[in-house]
């Protein structure tokens, strides 16, 4: 089973290159199932139903998110009905939407996708380690799902790495999101779970994590009237992770990073 995980899609630059290139990647890499973090897809802040529909039409099967999931007011109105859009599982009880769903792939495999958010330097959420431990008591690899994928949307690398080791052997792969910078540490952990600290982003890398670099510099230099940063609007690059998983065990056989676009060639 071949999986593709797309790093955070940031603004129009990220959307445009994903819509253009994703069908080719799926074909060239023989991808069976695609997960994308889309919480920055709408101008860098949140996601809309229209954007969700465009991404699904391009080949994305599931969209994960994070701390910006509610930045577009309409999201709370449709997320409960749109099961393919996830919000972090460890949001407080009663939050609209779901943090985990099981999907059936085109080859009839049951794929659980779990969206988590870190606790350090992020908006307040339930303890992420306790949350996933409780979830996995009733969601077992090769019993309840053929494959289990985890997006850990977190600020610091150590929390993401700790989560990877915590879940090693219990899930197919763990990929980090949120920091928008692809890390060069894709590997198979000792018990068979594939891991990468951050997938990076799909967007304009001539920027500050996808945002207009001049505006970002003004904000760091504390110049007045620099509030919400606009996304960079140059040519986009896709940063993503491909995982090949074993149909028999549900664990990973191979993981590699892919970049498609101008910025890493």
Q: Model confidence over 6-15: pLDDT tens digits?
A: 999 999 999 9
Domains and CATH numbers, the chain: 2-261 (3.60.21.10)
Tokens at 180, concatenated: 């928008």
The predicted pLDDT at position 230 comes to 93
Question: Of 68, 153, 178, 180, which is the active-site residue?
Answer: 68
Q: How far apart are the first and last CA of the chain?
A: 28
Is 68 designated active site?
yes
What lies within 8 Å, CB to CB, of 94 at 6+ separation is none
As a 3-state breakdown, the chain gives helix, strand, coil percent values, each rounded to 5, of: 20, 30, 50
Please tell me whether the overall predicted TM-score, pTM, comes out greater than 0.85 for this model: yes
**Residue 153: enclosing H or E segment and its boundaries?**
strand 147-153
What band does 265 get if pLDDT is binned at 50, 70 and 90?
A: low
Q: What is the pLDDT of residue 223?
A: 81
**For residue 262, what pLDDT is reported?**
77
Q: Is 263 or 131 the better-scoring residue by pLDDT? A: 131
């Amino acid at each position: 089973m071949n999986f593709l995980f797309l790093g955070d899609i940031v603004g129009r630059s990220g959307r445009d290159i994903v819509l253009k290139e994703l069908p080719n990647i799926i074909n060239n890499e023989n991808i069976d199932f695609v997960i994308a973090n889309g919480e920055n897809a709408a101008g860098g802040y949140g996601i809309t139903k229209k954007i969700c529909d465009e991404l699904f039409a391009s080949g994305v099967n599931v969209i994960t998110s994070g701390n910006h999931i509610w930045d577009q007011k309409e999201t709370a109105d449709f997320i409960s009905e749109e099961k393919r859009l996830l919000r972090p599982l460890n949001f407080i009880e009663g939050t609209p939407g779901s943090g985990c769903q099981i999907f059936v792939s085109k080859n009839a495999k049951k794929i659980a996708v779990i969206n988590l958010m870190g606790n350090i330097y992020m908006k307040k959420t339930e303890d992420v380690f306790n949350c996933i431990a409780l979830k996995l008591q009733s969601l077992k690899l090769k019993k309840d799902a053929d494959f289990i994928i985890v997006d850990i949307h977190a600020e610091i690398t150590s929390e993401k790495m700790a989560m990877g080791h915590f879940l090693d052997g219990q899930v197919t792969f763990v990929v980090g999101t949120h920091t928008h910078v692809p890390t060069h540490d894709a590997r198979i952990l000792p018990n068979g779970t594939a891991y990468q600290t951050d997938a990076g982003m799909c967007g304009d890398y001539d920027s500050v994590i996808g945002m207009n670099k001049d505006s970002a510099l003004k904000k760091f230099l504390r110049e007045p009237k620099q509030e919400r940063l606009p996304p960079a609007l140059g040519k986009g690059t896709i940063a993503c992770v491909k995982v090949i998983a074993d149909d028999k065990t549900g664990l990973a056989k191979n993981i590699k990073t892919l970049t498609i676009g101008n910025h890493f060639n």
